[in-house]
Structure 1
Amino acid sequence: MSDLLRLATAGSVDDGKSTLVGRLLYDTKSVLADQIDAVTRASVDKGLATPDLSLLVDGLRAEREQGITIDVAYRYFATPARSFVLADTPGHVQYTRNTVSGASTAQLVILLVDARKGVIEQTRRHAAVLALLGVPKLVLAVNKIDLVGQDEPTDEARTAAQAAVFTAISAEFNTLTTALGWTAEDVLEIPVSALHGDNVASRSTNTPYYDGPSLIEHLESVPVDADNTGAHSIGLRFPVQYVIRPRTAEYPDYRGYAGQIAAGSVSPGDEVVVLPSGIRTTVARIDTPDGELAVAQPGRSVTLILTDEVDISRGDVIASVADAPEPIDTFDATVCWLGDKPLRAGARLLLKHGTRTTQAIVGTLVERFDEQRLAAEPSPESLALNDIGLISIRVAEPIAADDYRVNRHTGSFLLIDPAGGNTLGAGLVGDVLSAVEVGAGV
């Protein structure tokens, strides 16, 4: 089991994401006493009887004033069993693009629903986006379960009403996630009250109809892909970020290639190929600031020394010979459009893949994905903000990309405004939509 879990939250506005994240931080003792005191004072000023834990995470002034999360905020907490990096993402449809950003590297996503509302349009939208991104594990937190059945005359009747609601929401969500490609082992539903802490750090006696783990217990024990690259194991992928040539008396002939390993591993003596040129060579040494390594794993930043003098520059990819990707200059890709102006065929953009940035032209808009019906609309005229679609792209320089379903890191890219430098689209190499369209009509 990996000792680090990357997770994210998602859900609609007012489902209680910020309160849940604040509860996680509070229950794992990851906030300082003066922060708790400040939140308590602010809560009293608002006329609340208990601390508003959402104030621990809604840090922007606009967020506090509006009572909604706007930006993606990264939180860090730990338990004796595991450390966590959590991306707290917005729930408003206007900020779906921020959800894409926050969930793009997540190994698990906590998707919240309000127990009184159940699975709604934004729930389906988020689930579809998470499926496209290839998020391997899901938790459905059925929040505010304590507010269900408050009109019932007895505690037994209230508990029965909550159990019925939780069962119905879980069944509907399971139908949705099955259609989107997850298995029963990948998804867990938990009834929670983020406000009161029910089933967050420990199992609650207020939900006798639920016999599973608490949220933190599940987060501590869920098995995940340690290098977070996806379901498939592939060989070395090393995008070159910088060529190091000290040109000093101490290192007169030093030539190293610095970067971060995106997939696979590498050891001295491994035969590799440089892409897109296709030149083969061998790794002579792996340098780091702490000395040489016998092996380097995904996520490690290193400098590779090769046995041959090879023409390599920033943007090239050093890959294992056995399964090196074929460099491509024309390909289909699934894109989540993040720009305010619609995307149309013929658009000229910049495409950033790994450490390479090249000019790109959008060819055909093949289809637009309807995340509510899980179906495709063929040949759309444009893709608007937050739309997801399949497009064709031609790039000026070939890129060494894998299909996104093979590897999340080497199969993703960004589309950038060449004039202003703004990110306009998040792209996945290949027709990722086909994997979820089988659920049409769900």
Structure 2
Amino acid sequence: MTKVITGDTTFFKGIDQIKYEGLNSDNPLAFRWYDADRVVAGKTMKEHLRFACAYWHSFNGTGADPFGGPTHIFDWDKKEDPVARAKDKMDAAFEFITKMQLPYYCFHDVDVVDYTNDIAENERHLQQLVAYAKQKQEESGVKLLWGTANLFSHARYMNGAATNPNFHVLAHAGAQVKAALDATIALGGENYVFWGGREGYMSLLNTNMKREQEHLAKFLHLAKDYARQQGFKGTFFIEPKPCEPSKHQYDYDAATVKGFLQEFDLLDDFKLNIEVNHATLAGHTFQHELQVAANHNLLGSIDANRGDYQNGWDTDQFPNDINELTEAMLIILESGGLQGGGINFDAKIRRNSTDKLDLFYAHIGGMDIFARALLTADQILQKSDYLAIRKNRYAAFDEGAGADFEHGKLTLDDLRSFALANGEPETISGKQEYLENVINRYI
């Protein structure tokens, strides 16, 4: 259990540490499913899920949207001095994180302290807050799952960062990534994420796509080599996203990123951080993106959220779909779990959710739904015929001519001969509805 710390001021007065109370509890400030020390499939829930708080949404989010200004006005965001304000925010964050029993957090550099156009000043301010965060981590036991640099919000990055057509902009991105890597390493960060917020194009009329992708690869190699030289042992993640804000981004989906990493010799150091809402924006399911990553040994981490069926953009709502997450946990458990990462709640409370308690309700719901999905998926794997049905569907490749085909022993003429000798194939059911019922039965 993490140790609750509050700093000089308690920002969440009257709220105790959130504990597991079980299914009979009606307490909205308690877990009904997430029992951190409960062992499932050989590991505790805490070890399987490795929950993290997204520093940016939870403590930098204002509720603003393209049509209206801030609605979330919180106590930790009132001081004028940027460092003092950042320390208040960190006090609030660690109080919340420890009260929620979240073992990890994640941040962008500009989340930790406001940046200006002065590189040296930004680095000094970040170093001050890194020292403060290190103290907080030591007091609480909370760890940094991953750090990253925000290379998309500043106006200089309007045409991308590592893919920008202006080398001067790329150099600024390099300086920012160096500082973010230094911060991540100083705080014992277990991973580092590259999120290509604008690494793509708006129009091919003014874009040399091949050159931009080559620049991105060179940039990633430089960053990776620097971090390794500083002793960083963790994994680098790339987070696929198809569009928004760019028309088309070079990290479109898991398969695209796998091809990019393979082409530019980055597979040994990089894995994928899969986000639910990005998967659906790419026209895929979350499960599809997880499976693609798992198939190529690239399933590193998750940004947990959801979109809205009526909105074609990244709404970053907290997850609540038990069917979706059960199917996701089946893939994660079958593939041996996440490699280095965890489940980061890259989600924000709604614009009209203006109470501090809403932040607790959102995370409690997210942690509970993943815990319930983990339990359900484990039961399906242990007790149902789910695995057997899928295996039997490919039984024709397990022996005879089918096995010979898989082992490269047949020619195209051999396939014709088999088809001619054996006539029309038998119609075999895929049993989709049955398997969907299996999911619901164990839920």
TM-score (norm 1): 0.28
More helix by share: 2
Q: Greater relative contact order: 1 or 2 (C-alpha under 8 angstroms, separation 6 or more)? A: 2
More strand by share: 1
